[in-house]
A and B are shown apart, each in its own frame.
Chain A
Amino acid sequence: MDGLALTPLESEALRLSLWVSGWAVLASLPPGIFCAWVLARCRFPGKSVVDGLIHLPLVLPPVVVGYALLVSFGHHGPVGAWLWETFAISFAFNWKGAALASAVISFPLLVRAVRLSLESVDQGLEAAARTLGAGPWRVFFTITLPLVVPGVVTGVILAFARSLSEFGATITFVSNIPGQTRTLPIALYTLTQVPNGDAGAIRLCIISVVVAMVALVASEILSRRVAQRMEG
């Protein structure tokens, strides 16, 4: 039975992965929904540029994203220096940086899922809510948002899964620091670089597969619940 228990290294990497990915998704959810709403509902000049910028991390090599983050959010980067001086927040070489890298990489997946869902919402329902006396904010929180919950759930699961597997941008931006930035994929990579690390690497592979499966099944159950709720 001892073989089933996680080693301290494994449990640390797993916990860190879940923590980093959880924060990455949680923090990107409000801006993600906002961007999805802007792309689904607003018309303005330069919209395609904004659309392209949001989707850029999807097509760029993650190393490029990680390096860009390092240059701008590092201690000496313009954004990083300003954040440190103003709010005493640093993203350099800690778990917050890992979460930021994961958030940027997974952001397009979240936005896409929510946007698709928003586009399928019957705007007639929103108009109906307005004639019943609801202002724009109330309409958004009582009608629009509940109706896009399926899309938000899909987006969250996709983004969470993408965050769990995030490697290139993270290692480039915040390196490989045990307990801070050594998430599951990075721990796995580390083990493949040392002699006799194969057994440990395979165990981490299995852990990754189990986590991914749990996330997928959870998303399936969740979206079925949402569908049932609509049908009453």
Chain B
Amino acid sequence: MIDLSLHKRQGAFNLAVEFTGSSGITALFGRSGAGKSSVVAMAAGLARPDHGHIRIGDDTLFDSERGINLPAERRRVGLIFQDGRLFPHMSVRSNLRYGEKLVPAGQRYASFDKVVELLGIGELLDRRPARLSGGEKQRVAIGRALLTSPRLLLMDEPLAALDGARKAEVLPFIARLSREFAVPILYVSHSIEEILELADDLVVLDEGRVIAAGGLEQVLCDCDLSAITGRQDAGSILTAVVHDHPAGFEVTRLKLGDNWLTVPALDLPIGATARVRIGAQDVSLALDRPSRTSIQNILTGKIQSIGPVEGGRVNIRVDVGGTLWTKITTLSLTELGLRCGDTVFAMVKSASIARGSIAVRG
């Protein structure tokens, strides 16, 4: 449980951020300049808020009213930077041990061997950071922070400097270590894909303020993030269960309430949970069940809300065993005469559900 209240004036920029996070992974999302990095620096003790508090569980790291301000070296808050920041004059082993040996034995929960094994960096121990790839560097940086047995791990866009393949090399480790070591993680990112795969909770920042916070599904459903990302990627997150892999078709069928969802073949066992992201643009609505169509995904649901209207298009929320957003023109809305509570058939092309928008939940 983390509880942050941070207020700071920096020139014309006014940061006023308050949120709480669960013991899992809390994602901090927002465009650059929204104040994400300031929040991280303050939580780590590298910058000082004008007023507010920082609490992790029962520990208070900062409280302006009670005059508490632990210096960075006494906070035991691990920070993973975008650029890794491994010490170039030390071997990987010495980097990993650097913080570990400064933690009293009684407070350690992460053992060297376990961390090295979990992150798969056993082969790298005697190398210098200059001889590591980007993905290896980040894994070592994560291990180094983890070995201080931190109360909280802060990750400031840890994958932003990596290409796609290297990202895929690091991402699964982050999900695993949160579960294996039960350490709360504050994960800063502007990538929806990363957040979708990792986060339990989501906090959305804009211009130094929290504009949405809560469980990931809830926030992503209630909040149109296209305003933040500047892209037309408003959409829904549906959590579904793997039902079967029809032989010979290279697809996987997922069960979602009473509905079926057919997606490109997933390498997941039957019964596993997957998160699927569906863009609002990729959904169309019909009042009658379409017959003789190539579209596989026809979800039955009830309209929950209509609006707001922007630029001749309107957002409609449909309950299909999860919240599904769709964006249709106001002309269609009028012609179909849609009202709240109506039963509709939402059609989604399987091809529009890319593999990258499906994430595994353990």
Contact = CB atoms under 8 A, between A and B. Distances in A.
B87 A129 contact: yes
B82 to A, nearest CB: 10
A133 B87 contact: no
Interface string B133-160: 0000000000011001000000000000
B188 to A, nearest CB: 15
Contact of B72 (A131, A143, A229): A131
B299 interface: no
Contacts of B103: 133
Interface string B60-91: 00000000000111111111010101011101
Interface in A76-107: none
Interface in B106-151: 127-131, 144-145, 148
Contacts of B130: 230-232
B260 interface: no
Nearest to B92: A232
B45 A143 contact: no
B326 to A, nearest CB: 45
Contacts, number: 72
B46 A133 contact: no
A224 interface: no
B72 A130 contact: yes
B44 interface: yes
Nearest to A147: B89
B128 A230 contact: yes
Nearest to A139: B73
A150 to B, nearest CB: 10
B102 interface: yes
Interface string B26-61: 000000000000000000111000000000000000
Interface residues of A, number: 21
A132 B81 contact: no
Contact of B89 (A127, A134, A146): A146
A231 B89 contact: no
B93 to A, nearest CB: 12
A232 B87 CA distance: 12
Contact of B44 (A131, A134, A146, A147): A131
A69 B192 CA distance: 68
Given A232-B127, A232-B128, A131 B77 contact: yes
Contacts of B78: 131-132
Majority-rule SS of B interface residues? loop
Contacts of A127: 46, 72, 85
A144 to B, nearest CB: 11
Contacts of A64: none
A210 to B, nearest CB: 34
B344 to A, nearest CB: 52
Nearest to A133: B102
A27 interface: no
Contacts of B127: 232
Contacts of A231: 128, 130-131
A133 B128 contact: no
A147 B88 CA distance: 8
A132 B79 CA distance: 8
Contacts of B88: 125, 147, 230
Given A143-B87, A231-B131, A128 B102 contact: no
B46 A131 contact: yes
Contacts of A133: 73-74, 76, 99, 102-103, 148
A42 to B, nearest CB: 18
A124 interface: yes
Interface string A124-156: 110111111111001000110011000000000
B46 A229 contact: no
B83 A134 contact: no
Nearest to A122: B85
Interface string A47-63: 00000000000000000
Contacts of A147: 88-89
Contacts of A232: 91, 127-131
B85 A124 contact: yes
Please indicate which of the listed interface residues A128, A143, A146, A232 has the most CB atoms of chain B within 10 Å of its own CB.
A128
Nearest to B72: A130
B321 to A, nearest CB: 44
Contact of A229 (B44, B89, B129): B89
B85 A130 contact: no
A132 B99 contact: yes
Contact of B85 (A125, A135, A138, A229): A125
* Most-contacted residue by chain A among B77, B81, B89 (CB, 10 A): B89
A80 to B, nearest CB: 42
* Residue of A131, A133, A143, A231 contacting most chain B CB atoms (<10 Å): A131
Which of B73, B130, B145 has the most chain A CB atoms closer than 10 A to its own CB?
B73
Contacts of A124: 81, 83, 85
Given A230-B128, A231-B128, A231-B131, A135 B87 contact: no
7 contacts: A128-B81, A131-B46, A131-B72, A132-B73, A132-B98, A132-B102, A133-B73
Given A133-B148, A232-B127, A232-B130, 13 more contacts: A128-B81, A129-B98, A130-B46, A130-B73, A132-B145, A133-B76, A133-B102, A133-B103, A134-B73, A138-B102, A230-B89, A230-B128, A230-B130
